[in-house]
Amino acid sequence: MTAKILVPVDFSPITQSLVSWASSVARDRKASLLMLHVQEPIVQSFGGDIFFPLPLQEKQDVREALSKIVPEDPAIAVEHRLVLGSAPDEILKQADEARVDLIVMGSHGRNWLGRLLLGSVAQHVMRHASCPVLIVKHQHPVKEQEAEQLAAHPIGGVVASVVP
């Protein structure tokens, strides 16, 4: 059985660097890659304090964008998966279901207040994964304004970011 590496992606400008890291490990270990994007639910507010989740809908443009994320080495097998739900929970669920040997994901490098208020997908995955997790830290911490712009991206919320 071939080793498998899960790579959660968020379509940020630095995603390709994460794919390069994962591809390097895959090439050395003769592993395949599983590119995963988690489309998170949208929440709508009615009356100020009450929030209702809107129905999740898969968007074709998201699937097309995900299919374009490929390793530079064509010899590395790659599978693409688009799922709907909570990013940390779905990353862990997909890792278990696919029986991956490694998760390679990024950290946005938010400051302590950002982690406290927003939580950290990478920290949650690292604590609860049943396999090793390689966290690739962004060289420069992402400013909160940049994080908000990434989260507002038309094809999805922030899952992970990486070093170039």
Q: Are 101 and 131 in contact (CB under 8 A)?
A: yes
CB neighbours (10 Å) of residue 35? 24
d(CA 158, CA 74): 27
Mean pLDDT along residues 60-80: 92
Query: Which pLDDT does position 78 carry in this prediction?
Result: 97
- Residue 101 burial by CB count (10 A; 0-12/13-18/19+): exposed, middle or buried? middle
Please tell us whether the domain made up of 7-42+51-151 is placed in CATH 3.40.50.720. no
**pLDDT value of residue 158:** 35
Domain ranges across the chain: 7-42+51-151
d(CA 18, CA 62): 18
Tell me which of 44 and 107 has the higher pLDDT: 107
* Three-class DSSP category at 87: helix
Using DSSP bridges, classify how beta strands 4-8 and 43-46 pair: parallel, antiparallel or unpaired: unpaired
Q: Which pair of structure tokens corresponds to residue 22?
A: 């994962």
pLDDT tens digits, one per residue of 101-142: 999 998 765 555 545 544 588 888 988 999 999 988 765 554
Whole-number pLDDT of residue 89: 95
Q: Which residues pair with 90 in a beta bridge?
A: none
pLDDT tops 80 at residue 65: yes
